[in-house]
Amino acid sequence: MRRILLSLLVIAMLVFPSTVQADVAPPANPPGSNPGPDSELTQVRMLAETVVVNVLQTDSPRAQVTADFTMRNLGSATEKLGVRFPIAASDGWSDFPEIKNAVVQVDGRGVSYRRVEGPEPIFNSKDTLVPWAQFDVNFPPGQDVKIRVTYDLNGTGYPREWQTTFYYMLSTGAGWKDTIGSAEIILRLPYEASPQNVILSKNGPQGAKFSGQEVHWTFSNLEPTRGDDFSFEIVKPSVWKNVPTELNNTDRNPKDGEAWGRLGKAYKEAYLASPKSYPREDEGGLQLYELSKAAYEKAVTLLPKDGLWHAGYAELLLVKHIFMSTSQKGPYPPDLQRGLEELDLAYQLAPKEAKVKDMLDLASNMRLITHNADGSPDFPSLTATPLPPSPTVYVPQTPPAESSAPSATAAFQPGPATSIPVTKTPASGPALPLCSGAALVPLALLLALRRKRQ
The mean of the pLDDT values for the chain is 81
**7 pLDDT higher than 60:** no
How large is the angle between the packed helices 307-324 and 283-302, nearest 10 degrees?
Answer: 150
Give 329-358 pLDDT, tens digit per residue.
Answer: 568 889 999 999 999 999 999 999 999 999
Instruction: Supply the pLDDT for residue 395.
Output: 38
Tell me phi and psi for residue 233, to 5 degrees.
-100, 125
Instruction: Supply the pLDDT for residue 229.
Output: 93
Strand partners, 371: 377
The structure's pTM equals 0.78
In this prediction, residue 384 has a pLDDT band, given cuts at 50, 70 and 90, of low
Strand 144-154 versus strand 180-188 pairing type: unpaired
What span, in angstroms and rounded, lies between the C-alpha atoms of 382 and 424?
Answer: 7
Instruction: Supply the pLDDT for residue 424.
Output: 44
How large is the angle between the packed helices 242-252 and 257-271, nearest 10 degrees?
Answer: 150
Residues shown for the chain: 454
| Inter-residue contact 304 to 419 (CB < 8 Å) | yes
Tell me the percentage of the chain whose pLDDT exceeds 90.
64
Give 10-39 pLDDT, tens digit per residue.
Answer: 333 333 333 333 335 688 999 999 999 998
Instruction: Supply the pLDDT for residue 400.
Output: 36
What span, in angstroms and rounded, lies between the C-alpha atoms of 179 and 223?
Answer: 5
**391 pLDDT higher than 60:** no
Instruction: Supply the pLDDT for residue 275.
Output: 64
Residues near 336 by beta carbon (within 8 Å), at least 6 away in sequence: 317, 318, 321, 325, 368, 393, 434
Give 114-167 pLDDT, tens digit per residue.
Answer: 999 999 998 877 789 999 999 999 999 999 999 999 999 999 988 778 899 999
Give 199-249 pLDDT, tens digit per residue.
Answer: 988 777 889 999 999 999 999 999 999 999 999 999 999 999 999 999 999
**404 pLDDT higher than 70:** no
Sequence ranges of the domains in the chain: 36-237, 241-447
State the average pLDDT over residues 63-73: 98
Query: For 49-53, 153-157, 398-402, which range has the lowest pLDDT when averaged over its residues?
Result: 398-402
In DSSP notation, 300-363 reads HHH-TT-HHHHHHHHHHHHHHHHHH--S-BSPPPHHHHHHHHHHHHHHHH-TT-HHHHHHHHHH
What span, in angstroms and rounded, lies between the C-alpha atoms of 305 and 349?
Answer: 7
Instruction: Tell me how many degrees the CA angle 412-418-421 measures, rounded to the nearest 5.
Output: 160
Domain 36-237 has CATH 3.50.50.60: no
Tell me the percentage of the chain whose pLDDT exceeds 70.
76
State the average pLDDT over residues 418-440: 40
In DSSP notation, 21-49 reads -S--SPPPPPPEE--EESSS---EEEEEE
Give 275-328 pLDDT, tens digit per residue.
Answer: 666 888 889 999 999 999 999 999 999 999 999 999 999 999 998 887 765 444
Instruction: Supply the pLDDT for residue 453.
Output: 52
